[in-house]
């Protein structure tokens, strides 16, 4: 790693090799890739495919570290440790490589979020085959949910991850190994029966909602859809038909996606929608204002690239979190739900 990486008035440039992604490129420079992810995209947008993919052989600029990050790497060990204690916290559920959460702001310090990734345990959800290997909805929904949780924690939110796999953490592989050891919040075994599984999640969320009564609370459910192989879909959002706050949350995230597509993919129209879908069990039965997100079609080749690429999963989580921040800034509308 060149010393220029720490200079504010000079930039390191790196040529992408075959197989490089933004995360691996930044990691190879000895920096936390998630701290500089957005700056890297903004700085190199003209040389990125679909706003997140590198071109082999092209040269990319590495953003300079922020002043507080420079201080962490250059001060005496004792002082550096003291600063780190103030600015970061470890969460083992994200895995060893991702457990450090750097505090970015206190914007969400009064907000509570319940995050539910679809399926899990005995139910892998939608299935497909990629490169001769089976892939399952629950693994990818969970990875995106963990990345979203980390983004929200970085803004001081209280976050409950309702479906958990303590062995997986955030993973940067394309093909995520399928297992069945997920549990529900409180180390509860996930039932085999579908209705019981859904009811368990509803009961957990509603009980936590009751305990946090009076606080700003939101629920985000993440799924990956399964349709015909030829059907390419955008990310879309559902909410309860009678929930003004749920509609605002869904619309805030939807608007964020529209702006991101317009900025990063100006030649591509974003066709994702937000609409009421009260027939869905979790939408109908849970008490917090909520949005139900479908990430894409796991059987479609184009959507698979969105789901399998860890760079894309990080971008999805980041965009959702920005929509969440926008929703919080708008505040509640009328009744709590």
pLDDT, greater one: 37 or 157: 157
The answer to whether residue 78 scores a pLDDT higher than 50 is: no
Q: Is 104 helix (H, G, I), strand (E, B) or coil?
A: coil
The answer to whether residue 80 scores a pLDDT higher than 80 is: no
Instruction: With 0.75 as the threshold, say if the pTM is over it.
Output: yes
Mean pLDDT of 186-205: 97
Angle between helices 137-153 and 310-330 (to 10 degrees): 50
pLDDT, greater one: 208 or 277: 208
What's the rounded Cα separation, in Å, for the pair 217 and 291? 12
What's the rounded Cα separation, in Å, for the pair 322 and 331? 15
Mean pLDDT of 167-186: 96
Q: Give 53's pLDDT tier (boundaries 50, 70, 90).
A: confident
pLDDT of residue 167: 95
Q: Give 50's pLDDT tier (boundaries 50, 70, 90).
A: low
The answer to whether residue 185 scores a pLDDT higher than 90 is: yes
Q: Report the b/e string of 112-149 with b at 16+ CB within 10 A.
A: bbbbbbbbbbebbbbebebeeeebbbbbbbbbbbbbbb
Q: Give 95's pLDDT tier (boundaries 50, 70, 90).
A: very high
Q: Which two tokens stand for residue 242?
A: 């009678």
> Which structural domains are found in the chain, ordered by start?
3-69 (3.10.350), 91-330 (3.40.630.40)
Concatenate the DSSP letters of all residues of 227-276 into one string.
--TT-----EEEE-TT-HHHHHHHHHHHHHHHHHHHHH-TTS-----EEE
Q: Residue 45's Cα: distance from chain center in Å?
A: 21
Mean pLDDT of 289-295: 96
Share of the chain above pLDDT 70, in %: 87
The answer to whether residue 32 scores a pLDDT higher than 70 is: yes
Range with lowest mean pLDDT among 202-206, 314-318, 331-335: 331-335
CB atoms within 10 A of CB 59: 11
Name the β-bridge partners of 60.
Answer: 14
pLDDT tens for 96-149 read 989 989 888 999 999 999 999 999 999 999 999 999 999 999 999 999 999 999
Q: For CA atoms 31, 33, 34, 36, give the dihedral sign.
A: positive
Q: For CA atoms 23, 29, 32, 35, give the dihedral sign.
A: negative
pLDDT tens for 234-282 read 898 999 999 999 999 999 999 999 998 888 777 777 888 889 998 999 9
Mean pLDDT score of the chain = 87
Concatenate the DSSP letters of all residues of 2-71 into one string.
-GGGG-SS--EEEEPPTT--HHHHHHHTTS-HHHHHHHHHHHHGGGEETTTEEPTT-EEEEPPPPHHHHH
Q: Residue 175's Cα: distance from chain center in Å?
A: 17
Angle between helices 301-308 and 310-330 (to 10 degrees): 80
DSSP letter (8 states) at residue 226: -
The answer to whether residue 67 scores a pLDDT higher than 90 is: no
């Amino acid at each position: 790693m060149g010393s220029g990486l720490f200079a504010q008035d000079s930039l390191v440039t790196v040529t992408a090799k075959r197989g490089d992604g933004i995360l691996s490129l930044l990691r190879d420079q000895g920096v936390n890739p998630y701290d500089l992810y957005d700056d890297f995209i903004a700085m190199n947008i003209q040389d990125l495919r679909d706003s997140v993919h590198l071109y082999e052989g092209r040269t990319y600029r590495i953003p300079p570290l922020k002043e507080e990050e420079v201080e962490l790497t250059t001060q005496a060990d004792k002082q550096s440790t003291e600063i780190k204690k103030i600015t970061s916290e470890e969460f083992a559920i994200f895995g060893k490589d991702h457990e450090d959460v750097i505090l970015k702001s206190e914007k969400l310090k009064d907000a509570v979020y319940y995050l539910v990734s679809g399926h899990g345990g005995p139910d892998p959800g939608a299935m497909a085959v990629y490169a001769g290997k089976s892939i399952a909805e629950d693994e990818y929904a969970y990875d995106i949910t963990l990345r979203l949780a980390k983004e929200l924690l970085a803004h001081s939110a209280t976050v409950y991850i309702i479906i958990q796999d303590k062995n997986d953490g955030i993973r940067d592989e394309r093909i995520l190994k399928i297992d069945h050891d997920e549990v529900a919040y409180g180390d509860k075994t996930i039932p085999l029966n579908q209705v019981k599984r859904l009811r368990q999640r509803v009961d957990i969320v509603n009980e936590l909602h009751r305990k946090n009564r009076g606080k700003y609370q939101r629920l985000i459910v993440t799924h990956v859809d399964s349709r015909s192989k030829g059907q390419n879909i955008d990310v879309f959002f559902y909410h309860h038909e009678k929930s003004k706050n749920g509609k605002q949350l869904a619309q805030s995230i939807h608007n964020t996606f529209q702006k991101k597509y317009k900025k990063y993919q100006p030649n591509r129209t974003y066709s994702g929608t937000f609409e009421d879908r009260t027939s869905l069990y979790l939408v109908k039965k849970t008490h917090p204002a909520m949005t139900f997100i479908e990430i894409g079609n796991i059987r479609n080749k184009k959507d698979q690239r969105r789901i399998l690429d860890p760079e894309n999963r990080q971008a999805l989580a980041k965009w959702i979190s920005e929509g969440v921040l926008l929703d919080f800034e708008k505040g509640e509308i009328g009744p709590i739900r």
